[in-house]
Structure 1
C-alpha cells in the first residue's frame, strides 16, 4: 500500500478551514496531520473535509490553543495520546492505519523567547517535553511508525537562514538540538525529509514579522517527518509546499509531504 502523508501547523483550523480544503483538493494527501488547531475536537469543521473524502479523524483539542488532528481518506484507529511533561496540553495524538502503521502527530512547545529555563518557564517546559518524549520512546521502542509534526526545532545548520546568528535563538540553540537528537536516537527514528533532500537550505516556517517573507527568505525547518528504521527505506518523494506560505491569510508554516510504500 502506498500513501502520501502531509504535516502542517495550520495556526487555527477554523480560521483557515478553506486553506485546508484547498490543500486537500489540490494536493490530495491520503493523510493530513495538523497542529495548532486551536479548537475543541467537536468544533473542527469536518463537513467540508468529509465532502472532499476525508471522513476519518483522530484528534485532541482544546479551546484557543494547541490541538492536533489527523485527517484521513483511509480508515484510522485511535491509539491514544500522551501528556508529555504533564502540561495538560493537547500536543500529541496517535492513530493506526489498517496496514499496521502507527502515525504520531506532535506539536512540541515553542519555548518562548529566552533560551534559559531559569528566566523562562516555557523554555524549561520545552526541554522537559522533549526529555519525556525521549524516555517514552526508549521504554517503548516504536516499530512500523511515522512521527510528524511541528517539533519547533531546526536541528541542522542548513535548516536555518543563518546558523551563527540563530545559535542563541530559541529553536536552534545547541541544547535544543541535543534534546532533538536524543529523541531521535531513543526511538530509532530517521529524518525522512533529509534522507530525501540531503543537501541545501530547507525551510518550512517563515515569520509573520517579515514584510516580504519570500524575498527575505529567513526561514527555519521546524516541521518534520520521521520514520522508524524498519520502514525508513519505504519513504520517498519528500517536499515542502512553499507556495502555501503565500496563500491568502496563510499559516506561517508550509506543509511538508512524504510518500510511503508499505
Structure 2
C-alpha cells in the first residue's frame, strides 16, 4: 500500500487555505505538514481541514510568525514541541503514527531563514539560524527504540551544489553559504538521516522547491533553491516509491513561494 506525506511552507494558512484545498482535492496526501502557518492556535482553521478528511490535527503556532502543523487521516500520538534555542518560537512539532506493524515518529520543522547578511556579528538572525542548526545535530533518526523516523519541513538551506540555480553565485547568499550547508549536512550525518529526495534524483541534477517572489517571471528565470526537505531513518529508504515536487503550485492564485513536496512510501 502506498502512503503519502506532503510538506509545504504555506506562508499563512488562513490566507492560502484555497490552495491547500486545491492541493488536497487533486493529490489527497495521507498526512499534510505545513510550515509558516502564521496563526495562533486558537485561530487555526481546523474546520476546513477536518472537512477534507484530516480528523487528526496537531498545531504549534504564534501570532503573525512561524508556526507548524500536522494534519493527518490516521491517528497521531505522543505529540511533542521542541523549543529550539529557547526563544519561544513555534518552529517544531512531532508526533507518532502507525502504519501496518511499523511505528514512525514524524518531525515537522521550520528553520529560521537567517536574514540577508551571512555574518552573525552584524546579523543576529543569521546567528540564530546557525545556533538552531547546531542544536538540530542532536536529533537522531534512531532516537526511539523500535521506531522509524521521518523529518520534513522548510529547513531554509539548499545544501548541495545543484540544489541552487548557481552554486558559484550563491556561495555568499544566505541559504547556501558553506557554514550553513556544512552544518545541515552534519545534521544528517550525526543524526543518521537519509535524504529521500535525493534517493532517486542524482546529486548532479537540479532540484528546487522554492522560487522567489522577487522574480518577474519565476518560471522563465527558474532561479530556484531546494529549501524544503524530506529525510528518514535508513530503514525507510527501501520503501520509497517516489518523490513529487509540485512545481505547478508556484503558479496558482496567490501562491506561496514554496511548493508542496510529497513522499510516497510502500507502507
Do they fold alike, i.e. is TM over 0.5? yes
Gaps of 5+ in 1: none
| Cα distance in structure 1, aligned partners of 2:211 and 2:75 | 33
* 1:53 corresponds to: 53
For the residue of structure 2 that corresponds to 1:103, the secondary structure is: strand
User: Of the candidates 100, 122, 126, which is equivalent to residue 125 of structure 2?
Assistant: 122
**Aligned match of 1:107:** 110
1:217 matches 2:222: yes
Distance 1:141 1:112, change over 3 A: farther
For 1:160-193, what per-residue CA distance to the aligned partner results, in whole angstroms no more than 9, with x for missing partners?
0100000000000000011101110121001101
SS in 2 for 1:135: coil
State the alpha-carbon separation in 2 of the partners of residues 124 and 113 from structure 1. Answer: 12
Q: Following TM superposition, by how much is the alpha carbon of 1:95 offset from its aligned partner in structure 2, in angstroms?
A: 1.0
- Whether contact under 8 Å (1:6, 1:256) holds in the other structure is yes
Contact 1:60 1:90 in 2 (8 A): yes
Distance across 2 between alignment mates of 1:133 and 1:253: 22
CA contact (8 A) 2:142 2:192 kept: no
Give unpaired runs (5+ residues) of structure 2.
Answer: none
SS in 2 for 1:231: helix
1:230: Cα distance to partner?
1.9
TM-score (norm 2): 0.94
Q: Is contact 1:115–1:123 with CA below 8 Å preserved after alignment? A: yes
Residue 139 of structure 1, CA deviation = 9.7
Measure, in 2, the Cα distance between the counterparts of 1:225 and 1:138: 13
CA deviation map 1:187-235 (0-9, x unaligned):
1001101102224111100000011111111100000000011222212
Check 1:20–1:78 CA distance in 2 against 1; reply closer, same or farther (3 A cut).
farther
Q: Which moved more, 1:173-182 or 1:193-202?
A: 193-202
Please list every run of at least 4 consecutive aligned residues from structure 1 whose deviation after the TM superposition is greater than 6 angstroms: none
> Normalized against structure 1, the TM-score is what?
0.96
Q: 1:152 aligns with which of 156, 162, 166?
A: 156
What is aligned with 1:255?
260
Alignment of 1:202 with 2:207, yes or no, is yes
In the comparison of the two structures, how many residue pairs are matched? 262
Distance 1:119 1:133 in 2: 23
Structure 1 counterpart of 2:234, from 198, 204, 229: 229
Q: Is the 2:79–2:94 Cα contact (8 Å) retained in structure 1?
A: yes
RMSD: 1.5
1:236, distance to aligned residue in structure 2 (A): 2.3
Deviations 1:109-152 (A, max 9, x none): 00000011111101010010011110243994784000000000
Aligned position for 2:179: 175
